[in-house]
Amino acid sequence: MKLPLLSGCEAANVFERLGWEIARRRGSHIILVKKGHIATLSIPDHKEVAKGTLRKLIARAGITVEEFLEAMK
C-alpha cells in the first residue's frame, strides 16, 4: 500500500485521530504517547517525513498502513 508524503505535523494529526496524544515537542521532534502503550512515537517535525520512517512509526503504533490511511480520511 502506497503512503503519501506528509509533514511531521500532518502525521502527528493522523496519529492523534488514532488515540495518540502529543506529550511534548523536543527539538525537531514531536513526541506522542498513548495510554496502554509502552512505546512512544517520535515524529520528525520536517516538511516531509520519509516514507520508511512513517512505515516504522505505523508499525511501532501497532496498526496497519491501511488503518493509518483510513484515519487520514
Superfamily of domain 8-72: Hypothetical protein. (3.30.920.30)
Render pLDDT for 20-40 as a digit per residue (tens, 0 to 9): 999 999 889 999 999 999 999
User: And the C-alpha cell for 30?
Assistant: 514531536
Q: What is the secondary structure of 10-70 as a DSSP string?
A: HHHHHHHHTT-EEEEEETTEEEEE-TT-S--EEEE-SSS--HHHHHHHHHHTT--HHHHHH
Give the domain ranges of the chain: 8-72
Q: How confident is the model at residue 1 (pLDDT cuts 50, 70, 90)?
A: confident
* pTM listed for this prediction: 0.92
Per the CB < 8 A criterion, the answer to whether 59 and 44 are in contact is: no
Which grid cell is 71?
A: 484515519
